[in-house]
Amino acid sequence: MTVRFDGKVAIVTGAGNGLGRSHALAFAARGAKVVVNDLGGARDGTGSSSEAAQAVVAEIKANGGEAIANGANVADFEQVQAMVEEAMDAWGRVDILVNNAGILRDKSFSKMSMEDFRLVVDVHLMGAAYCSKAVWEIMKEQNYGRIVMTSSSSGLYGNFGQSNYAAAKLAVVGLMNSLAQEGEKYNIHVNSLAPAALTRMTEDIIPDPRAAAALVPEPVSAGVLALCSEDAPNKFILCAGAGGYASSHLYETKGIYLTAEDQTPEKILENWAALDDDTDEERITQALQQTGKFIKAALADLDSKT
């Protein structure tokens, strides 16, 4: 099986540098027409320039591919809609969206302004929501779509000094969880990526120069292409970096059931070890799965008393 994207149109946000640039080049190399979106700002989101996006487009065209540059700010819904309209005017469809655009404003929570918190959430979470919304009806009508949310190990597991970034990066997984269910009957698959690569976004976090040889963007882009292929999974968190690939899932312990008279904070604390026991833990894939588990325990208790 060879993964190709001939006849497909891909939008990659934040594609002027780093991972986004690598994704855009990889899609184009396998036949996709690519919208190279990049506001062209600094790592903290300030400023703008079309040079980076134009350079990626020039590279794609030099290799025989088709691409257009777009400078939309993903945190501005009107600009995002105009970007999608530009793609539709050029090629008549949008098959793939990779929500990659992002900024960093790292500080400990004590020192972080709420303006910096909000701005990072706006770019990562609202940017992903705006872009997904702008292509959603198109993908439904086509009965085909592939969307990737770019999460992070910081969001999945936490990282000191990145409360704004971590909050946004876990939030896009929540967005994926619901959109994957809503889009499934329209053949729209929505997945998440937790990448590890040495780019300008991570050069201060991973300062060891020896890591550069392994933490290049291309292995991560291979994972993105897998998530956007015809045979892509749905509602999957792919962790990728330095040639390593893994999945991340939410699990829930079997837990405990307390009768009405024991449903107190004291009894919960007294039984903490039991509720936290990971024996027979279960992978949770939808909200009602958890609710059903609790109701089943409660009804079993009622049945035992009748």
User: What residue segments make up the domains of the chain, in order of their start?
Assistant: 9-247, 251-304
Summarised one tens digit per residue, pLDDT across range 191-204 is: 999 999 886 555 56
User: How many percent of the chain have pLDDT more than 90?
Assistant: 84
Is 245 considered catalytic here? no
Catalytic residue among 130, 157, 165, 257: 165
pLDDT at 42: 66
Residue 273 phi/psi, 5-degree rounding, is -60, -40
Report which secondary-structure segment, H or E, holds 188: strand 188-196
Sheet of 67-70, strand order: 67-70, 33-37, 9-12, 96-99, 145-150, 188-196, 237-241, 244-247
**What band does 49 get if pLDDT is binned at 50, 70 and 90?**
confident
Q: Is the pTM of this model over 0.85?
A: yes
Mean pLDDT of 109-114: 98
Report which secondary-structure segment, H or E, holds 56: helix 51-62
Fold of the CATH domain 9-247: Rossmann fold (3.40.50)
Give the DSSP letter of residue 126.
I
Summarised one tens digit per residue, pLDDT across range 143-163 is: 999 999 999 999 999 999 999
